[in-house]
């Protein structure tokens, strides 16, 4: 009788665990675990290419489909910047975008990453809209989930840009959190994007909220699908504010995973399916 009892308990526990996993799976909208060595998945990512400064006087030439600058290796995506004398501005790097392959209106976007270090590095995990509905940047909006500039080590920024709030006017809205071991350990960088507000997190710690005040798209152009961007810039108006150290290259941003959920999984009720 006792054996039958424990068997029933085991079956119930197994069903409960399966149900919770299944519930998490239905919550997950899109992900890349970077488990296939080689170039990043062309099903999920495209490359932006060029060396035109990207509006910030950056120095890198973004290349496409080069293992030197972007590759999956050992379960991690490596986005790598190199000094390259053959380039007019002296550097190469990579910029991956999910545009046309993954975009979302609201959700919990989480990226686990290890950042580069040194003066002149400028890694970013951020989002832009799939379509220009309000007349281009900054009117269409920008969500910066993570930015870090190497001359200010450990201070990680989460920022929102709109027509009313942007760095051209010095009115951008954002928060910062000190991450002392940003380059030696992986950390999770996330935004919980809802219709009412955005909440920014590092390792599950909340550090900034941007609210929808109901004043229209000049302040909140975020009721539309946005895609994800992973890049490592060199120099630029912000990243190169205190120059670029020529002796630190190559530098890399390592990305363990990208996951997009319907809602923050830590806040999702863990109940059995059908309850």
Cβ distance 174 to 160 under 8 Å? Answer: yes
- For residues 201-230, give the mean pLDDT: 98
Choosing from 147, 185, 196, 242, the catalytic residue is 147
Q: Which domains does the chain have, with CATH numbers?
A: 28-264 (2.60.120.200)
pLDDT band at 155 (very low <50, low <70, confident <90, very high): very high
pLDDT band at 125 (very low <50, low <70, confident <90, very high): very high
Choosing from 58, 110, 142, 219, the catalytic residue is 142
Quick check: is 142 catalytic?
A: yes
Across 99-220, the runs of DSSP E, i.e. the strands, are: 103-104, 107-114, 121-129, 142-147, 155-161, 173-178, 187-193, 197-202, 205-211
Tell me what percent of the residues of the chain surpass a pLDDT of 70: 88
Which two three-digit tokens encode residue 102?
A: 């993954």
pLDDT band at 269 (very low <50, low <70, confident <90, very high): low
Residue 57 burial class via C-beta count within 10 angstroms: exposed 0-12, middle 13-18, buried 19 and up? middle
Does the pLDDT value for residue 275 go beyond 50? no
pLDDT band at 5 (very low <50, low <70, confident <90, very high): very low
Residue 193 DSSP symbol: E
Quick check: is 33 catalytic?
A: no
Q: Which residue has the higher pLDDT, 11 or 49?
A: 49
Residue 54 DSSP symbol: G
The number of helix segments (H) and strand segments (E) in the chain equals 1, 18
Does the pLDDT value for residue 1 go beyond 50? no
- For residues 126-149, give the mean pLDDT: 98
- For residues 84-99, give the mean pLDDT: 98
């Amino acid at each position: 009788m006792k054996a039958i009892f424990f068997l029933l308990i085991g079956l119930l526990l197994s069903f409960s665990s399966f149900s919770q996993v299944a519930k998490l799976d239905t919550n997950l909208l899109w992900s890349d675990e970077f488990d296939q060595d080689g170039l990043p998945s062309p099903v999920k990512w495209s490359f932006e290419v060029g060396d035109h400064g990207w509006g910030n006087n950056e120095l890198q030439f973004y290349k496409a489909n080069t293992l030197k600058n972007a590759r999956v290796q050992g379960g991690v995506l490596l986005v790598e910047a190199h000094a390259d004398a053959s380039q007019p501005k002296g550097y190469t790097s990579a910029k991956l975008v999910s545009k046309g392959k993954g975009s979302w209106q609201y959700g919990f976007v989480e990226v686990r990453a290890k950042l580069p270090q040194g003066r002149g590095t400028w890694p970013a995990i951020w989002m832009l809209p799939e379509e220009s509905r309000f007349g281009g940047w900054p009117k269409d909006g920008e969500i910066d989930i993570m930015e870090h500039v190497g001359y200010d080590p450990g201070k990680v920024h989460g920022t929102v840009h709109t027509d009313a709030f942007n760095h051209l006017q010095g009115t951008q809205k954002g928060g910062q959190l000190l991450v002392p071991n940003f380059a030696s350990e992986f950390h999770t960088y996330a935004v919980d994007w809802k219709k009412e507000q955005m909440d920014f997190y590092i390792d599950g710690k909340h550090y900034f909220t941007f609210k929808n005040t109901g004043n229209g798209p000049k302040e909140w152009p975020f009721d539309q699908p946005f895609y994800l961007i992973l890049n490592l810039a060199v120099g630029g108006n912000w990243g190169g504010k205190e120059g670029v150290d020529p002796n630190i290259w190559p530098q890399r941003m390592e990305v363990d995973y990208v996951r997009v959920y319907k809602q923050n999984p830590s806040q999702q009720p863990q109940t059995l399916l059908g309850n």
